[in-house]
Amino acid sequence: MKLLKHALLSGIPLFILGAALVLGGVGLTGQNLHEDRVAGVRARRAVESLVLSLPEETLRPAPVPITEEEVLVTENRVLPVATVDGRDYVGLLQIPALSLELPVQTPYEYDSLAYSPCLYVGNPYHKNMVICGHNYRSHFGELKKLQEGDELLFIAMDGEVFRYRFLTLEVLDANAVREMIDPTGWDLTIFTCTVGGEYRVTARFASN
């Protein structure tokens, strides 16, 4: 009886520690869900304001440069910017297969990702655009569900629409910056981090 009592008493600290870990995990999950919801609300509000700032004329497909002069003009272009609540945005990102419509901020700053994805490098005129976002479900958390051929639209703030199709998904090391921004074969890349931040879930697209 004394041995049983001693064993029970000895197990109390482990029970308390286990309970604390479980409660801590629940609290962290709750915090993540809250941040996800807040990020989704922020993005929707920005989208609503940005849509109102688009040109009144119908959205138009981005022109395909043919002559040398047109190519030169296109290569020298920079994305127009619209400002909402003190934040600069270069466009809207739509992925119908994931029911996503998100604003894209510039410049890239880690803290800005709590509001929306950010332009990391490049632009659609050079066909080397890279966009990053948090792995919130309301942002880029569902990239793994993309299927080959799924469409993505990038709407610049002057009303030009760039269309892309999904090609492949890669998982890159967090330090693989060169591989991430290498434009060879990819007209558009969007990426997010895995849970823990050790890797980058990377979706590659081609112009459509």
DSSP output for 46-69: HHHHHHHHS-SSPPEEPP---SHH
Task: Please report whether residue 3 resides in a domain.
Answer: no
pLDDT for 9 equals 42
* Domain membership of residue 70 as a residue range: 37-207
pLDDT at 29: 58
- Would you say residue 10 lies in a domain? no
Residue 58 is predicted with a pLDDT of 66
The arithmetic mean of pLDDT across residues 154-173, rounded, is 96
Q: Is residue 8 part of a domain?
A: no
pLDDT reported for residue 60: 80
- Give residue 76's pLDDT: 79
User: Which residues on neighbouring strands pair with residue 83, listed in sequence order?
Assistant: 88
Phi and psi of 3, rounded to 5°?
-65, -40
Q: What is the mean pLDDT of the chain?
A: 85
Q: How many domains does the chain have?
A: 1
Residue 153 β-bridge partners: 94, 163
| CATH number where 197 lies | 2.40.260.10
Whether residue 23 lies inside any domain: the answer is no
Q: Which residues pair with 172 in a beta bridge?
A: 200
Kindly state whether residue 146 falls inside one of the protein's structural domains. Answer: yes
Amino acid letter, 186 = W
29 located within any domain = no
User: Residue 8 — pLDDT band, cuts 50, 70, 90?
Assistant: very low
Q: What is the mean pLDDT of residues 103-129?
A: 96
pLDDT band at 27 (very low <50, low <70, confident <90, very high): low
Residues 28-44 have a mean pLDDT of 84
How does pLDDT run across 39-96, given as a tens digit for each residue? 999 999 999 999 998 886 667 888 777 677 777 767 778 999 999 999 999 999 999 9
